[in-house]
Amino acid sequence: MDLTDTEYEAIRDGLLGSERPFFLFHDDPDGLVSFLLLKKFCGKGRGMMVKAEPNVNDRFLAPVRSVKPDSLFVLDVALMQQSFVDTVRGFGVAKIFWIDHHQPVRLSGVKYFNPRLHSPQNNPPASYLSYKAVRGTGNELLWLAMAGIVSDWHMPEFAPEFTRDYPDLLPGPMSAEEALFTTGIGKLGRIFSFMLKGPVSEAVACIRALETVTSPYDILNRLTKEGRFIYGKFKAINSEYEKLLAEAKEAADGSSGEKFLVFTYKSAQSFSGDLANELLFLYPDRVIVAGRERSEHYMLSFRARHAPVLPALQNALKGVDGYGGGHEKACGGSVSRKDFERFIEKFKKEF
């Protein structure tokens, strides 16, 4: 079970009953698509990305106060603070809806929708939950939903419908991983990911352009002004990504036979999650650690196919200046430069 019919109805009622919804969404394809699906359904509202730390806390009080929403939708964000909830209530936010699929968290004053409350091992992405809440009987939003869902390594039960309508983008049954790295719908998800990188103003411009797009081919084939704008941003970012991926492959070849593949890099952009995903696809038997080196710390992504990384990450962080969390086999975190080498050794020993 993902969510119950009653829960999906509550999401729809919340959207339709709100005059000024405000959406806070994780800055990845899953969060982005969740926002777009819900906004297209209700036809109103504003959105804001949750960048860096996936935590809705007091740094978002000023935007909420400025927008003056009557309802708040938090999408694909792992954490939210009770102090934030209590404070925005005083701003006139009547209802808060939280749609997520990470480790369950309980807060008062929040309508919480997480499939892991029904089954701890069941965690379809937020874009899947959002699509099922608003899809109705039509398929006009299916392409958008599939880009977000597949990007989060999930292949939904309605994938055959997508193959029927877009056989060139998903030729037939396959794993989400294979689709992500070998098909047109996977490329569209990569475009969504890369268009969110760089200056916030550029990401916002891409999101506004995407809100007007009605077909995946507008972007993939550059058929409209908006599609060409989005693809241009992707092309510029992708060139840097491909260079880093080539370096990571060299590091993998130079450490062949080792269980762990640790790759760190310097860049103005964050590619850790993207690199970790593709490296796991290319080297499925290895434990992947991809990290972006910043001035005082490393921003890290962890992936593994055959063993959970979350317990190892949590234990390795004890006594270390850092934080982390996420899914059993796909996590993120941050570790200070001074503790990085010690942390990596502890992380390896946990396996």
| Reported pTM | 0.93
Predicted local distance difference test score (pLDDT) of residue 234:
98
- What single DSSP character describes residue 158? T
One-letter amino acid for residue 63 of the chain: P
Are the C-beta atoms of residues 139 and 161 closer than 8 Å to each other?
yes
pLDDT at position 137 is 63
How many Cβ atoms sit within 10 Å of the Cβ of residue 225?
11
Ramachandran quadrant class, 199 (left: phi over 0; alpha: psi -120 to 50; beta: rest): beta
* Rounded Cα distance, 127 and 147, in Å: 9
Q: Which residues of 151-176 are buried (b: 16+ CB within 10 A; e: fewer)?
A: bbbbbbebbeebbeebeebbeeebeb
| Lowest mean pLDDT across 84-88, 179-183, 295-299 | 295-299
Specify the length of the chain in residues. Answer: 351
Strand partners, 288: 261, 303
pLDDT (tens digit per residue) in 267-309? 999 999 999 999 999 999 999 999 999 989 999 999 999 899 9
Q: How confident is the model at residue 53 (pLDDT cuts 50, 70, 90)?
A: confident
The pLDDT of residue 68: 96
Domains and CATH numbers, the chain: 1-134 (3.90.1640.30), 137-241 (no CATH), 255-349 (3.10.310.40)
Q: Which residue has the tokens 């491909």?
A: 242
**How many Cα atoms are found within 13 Å in the side-chain-facing hemisphere of 313?**
26
Compute the average pLDDT of residues 65-76: 97
d(CA 283, CA 285): 6
Mean pLDDT for 133-149 is 91
Contact 285, 305 (CB under 8 A): yes
Residues with Cβ < 8 Å from 65, sequence gap 6 or more?
Answer: 91
Q: Give the model's pLDDT for residue 136.
A: 76
Instruction: Say what the pLDDT of residue 1 is.
Output: 75
| Predicted pLDDT at 215 | 97
